[in-house]
Structure 1
Amino acid sequence: MNVQVFMFRQDDPKKCTAAKLVKFGLARPVTRTHGNTIVLDPFAKTTLLRRDAHICSSVTAIDCSWNLAQNTFAKRFSGIPRKLPPLLAGNPVNYAKLGKLTTVEAIAGALFILGYVSLCKELLNKFNWGHTFLELNEDLLNDYSLLQSEEQIAPLLSQYGFANFD
């Protein structure tokens, strides 16, 4: 599975997880998205599920500031838009906040759900807090990777004690 990042360079470059993935050759920077990539979009109508693995050749993350996300994602990117099911952030800035993921956390979560667990772990290993993301979410990610439909997400989240998500 290919990993791509569309970088807007809106945050501190020293903290940019996308830039670090590119630096280590784990992601390819792109200036355009293409039709057969899953574009990770927190505002997409459809949630990423394991079955999406067969419809794409890559996962593309849009690296932008959370403060500017609404405007950034108002632009239309070609590809297959998918939002992640709710996950807890493991990064130090948004630790344990539901959905406030860094670019690497979003990519890693998507890869795990799609069945690319070893690649997910390889990406997270480049960050000293990467293991925290997996520790917080591994059971949830395993359960998400087994779901057949979006309708199964809400009951699953209530089993985990999450209310009022989305």
Structure 2
Amino acid sequence: MSHATETTIAAPRTGRIDPKYTRSKGGKGNFEMLAWLFMRLSGVVLVVLIFGHLISNLLVGEGIAGVDFGFVAGKWADPMWQFWDLLLLWLAMLHGTNGMRTIINDYAHKDRVRFWLSMILYVATAAIIILGTLVIFTFEPCMVDASGQLLKDVPAFCHG
């Protein structure tokens, strides 16, 4: 004779979670919901920014063969393109960082490992955003030598 034993499975969301899977809540509040919403909205904006970037750089003019120092200098002489590329940089980095943060939270089970991976991610993100922003706004296509004369390989618009 076999005895049938009944196994009871707790209903979802009853709060019975294996302790090894619990993490300190730490007052996250609506942060995760806002991060989820940011991913959706920034993704839509990034698609527009990326296709605009690709079309202007690869399909208009000479295509990839025309992308050189002078091309970038000419684009960044226009504040609209500076803003476009800045928004693309910031949104791409923040979108990617949020995705990596989610992966770290999902797969790093130890608090200490999760903390250090997150810190490395945040420092790298801040460095790239700061350096990229500096490049966009301090880019000087019309370079001069010590005597104040234009260097010989500067774009044509520097001579005008």
**Larger strand percent:** 1
Instruction: Determine if the TM-score, normalized by the shorter chain, exceeds 0.5.
Output: no
> Which is greater in Rg?
2
- Report the TM range for the smaller structure's normalisation: under 0.3
